[in-house]
Amino acid sequence: MTANPHPVFAAMRHAAAAHEIPIGPGVTGWMVTRYEEARRALADPRLAKSPTTAVMPPEMVKPGLSKHMLNSDAPEHTRLRKLVSMAFTPRRMEEFRPRVQAISDALIESLKGREVIDLIDDYAFPLPFQVICELIGVPMVDRDDFRAWSNLLLDQFAQGSPEAAAAATSMVDYVGKLVIRKRDEPDEALLSGLIAARDAGDKLDDDELTSLVFLLLVAGHETTVNLIGNAMYLLLSRPDQAKALRDDPAAIPAAVEEVLRFESPVKTATLRISVAPVEVGEVTIPPGQLVLISLLSANRDSSAFTQPDELDLTRSEGQHLAFGHGIHFCLGAPLARIEARIAIESLLSQFPQMTAEGDLASPQWRPGLLLRGLAHLPVNLGAH
Ligand code: HEM
């Protein structure tokens, strides 16, 4: 299922609109796999977010980590999202594009002269991480620690473990210290503005502030690293398509959308709980059930896309669900798109001879239900 989940999802879509499946030790939930049903479910207020903290592993519900928009329903959600939504609009992100390009250029410069690198560790991870740190206005200290904690917290197999609990404690301390440091040295970036809002009294409390920073730091890199990695993996496996994009960079935005559809970086949307009976196709999910919505599966549904298992980088039909849908639609989508376009264009043009190092037929996919991305992608940069 980790290596190739697509045939399993195809069989599930064929068999029923929703399936009861085991999702943890002694815990079952419902998985929604078809496109129309998934789209409807993502926007259905009867599939609520706020009760999910009651069933999350304890380390995830520390108030300093969990009081954020992705765990909230309206009207709380509206208030929390509004505090930052203006900072992530397509226009604001366009203004930030030169900084993303500069961060990418510096990373590429640091790779010049090397032969074999890990495209994930050496480029796909540091790019979005540096970008989100700069946007929030936090120093990029302890990057490796932060990444290790973040990976542990998002890896469902580790959740509930002493390691995950320790990671959560470290994360709360880390974000808390960032906030203290920023209060002493305010600047023009997002965090200083949020601290000012918090200190003004009524807009958000302490835990909401650290939870928001945690959410932005984690959501800002855990997903985009997968998009860049998946895109480069697919292009390395298809040199003719890579060449077509190198020759015509104007085709890259459409290619990014197709990669988002074809190997969706967020495999399954975050957990929801039914607060009333919810009809999903011919199935009725009773109240009080955990519900998972598979974006990866919905995006391969033949009722929404022709020949869904073909990667067609020029595809223009359909609207993929890789960024979700409804009130929780990804706040960072405009930024993620800019990052991925810059990454693909820069890597293809700067390293035209890049080839995969090792077996492309058996890449190392990260485990877990939540994310679809590669743990490592060793490449040979070739002559450059
Ligand atoms: C929400 C995907 C990049 C911030 C979401 C959701 C998805 C998603 C599917 C909805 C989850 C749900 O409904 O359960 C992605 C993908 C990305 C990406 C595929 C990259 C390719 C980013 C970036 C940021 C970000 C760069 C940084 C700002 C957020 C936030 C939410 C969110 C704050 C919660 C929105 C809400 O609850 O209203 N993302 N994301 N994401 N994403 Fe992203």
Higher-confidence residue of 327 and 65: namely 327
Per cent of the chain over pLDDT 90 is 67
Question: CA 147 to CA 142: how far, in whole Å?
Answer: 9
- Looking at this predicted complex, what is its ipTM? 0.99
Q: Can you give the pLDDT at residue 187? A: 86
Mean confidence (pLDDT) of the chain = 92
Residues 190-209, mean pLDDT to the nearest whole number = 82
Query: Could you give the percent of the chain with pLDDT greater than 70?
Result: 97
Ligand 1 atom nearest 70 alpha carbon = 37
Which atom of ligand 1 is nearest the CA belonging to 324? 9
Minimal-distance CA residue to ligand 1 atom 26: 220
> What distance in angstroms lies between residue 65's CA and the mean position of ligand 1's atoms?
16
Say if CB 252 and CB 345 are below 8 A apart.
yes
Concatenated DSSP letters of 114-171: -SEEEHIIIIITHHHHHHHHHHHT---TTHHHHHHHHHHHH-TTTTTSHHHHHHHHHH
Ligand 1 pocket by Cβ (under 6 Å): 42, 69-70, 81, 88, 132, 215-216, 219-220, 223-224, 227, 265-266, 269-270, 295, 322-324, 327-328, 330-332, 335-336
Q: Residue 156 above 80 pLDDT? A: no
Domains and CATH numbers, the chain: 57-264+321-380 (1.10.630.10)
Of 157-166, 295-304, 336-345, the least confident: 157-166
Terminal-to-terminal C-alpha distance of the chain: 37
* Residue 175 pLDDT exceeds 90: no
- 25: CA distance to ligand 1 center in Å? 27
- Closest residue to atom 5 of ligand 1, CA basis: 330
Say if pTM beats, i.e. exceeds, 0.90: yes
Q: What is the pLDDT of residue 163?
A: 84
Which atom of ligand 1 lies at the shortest distance from residue 215's CA? 33
Query: Of 4-18, 170-184, 260-274, which range is least confident?
Result: 170-184
300 — pLDDT class (breaks 50, 70, 90): very high
Res. 157: pLDDT tops 60: no
Question: According to the model, what pLDDT value does residue 296 have?
Answer: 98
Q: Cα–Cα–Cα angle for 173, 331, 166, nearest 5°?
A: 20
The stretch 261-272 carries a mean pLDDT of 96
Instruction: Compute the distance between CA of residue 30 and CA of residue 10 in angstroms, rounded to an integer.
Output: 16
- Candidate of 223, 273, 296 to mutate for ligand 1, largest count of ligand atoms within 8 Å of Cβ: 223
Ligand 1 mean position, distance from CA 138 (Å)? 20
Rounded distance, CA 166 to CA 145, Å?
12
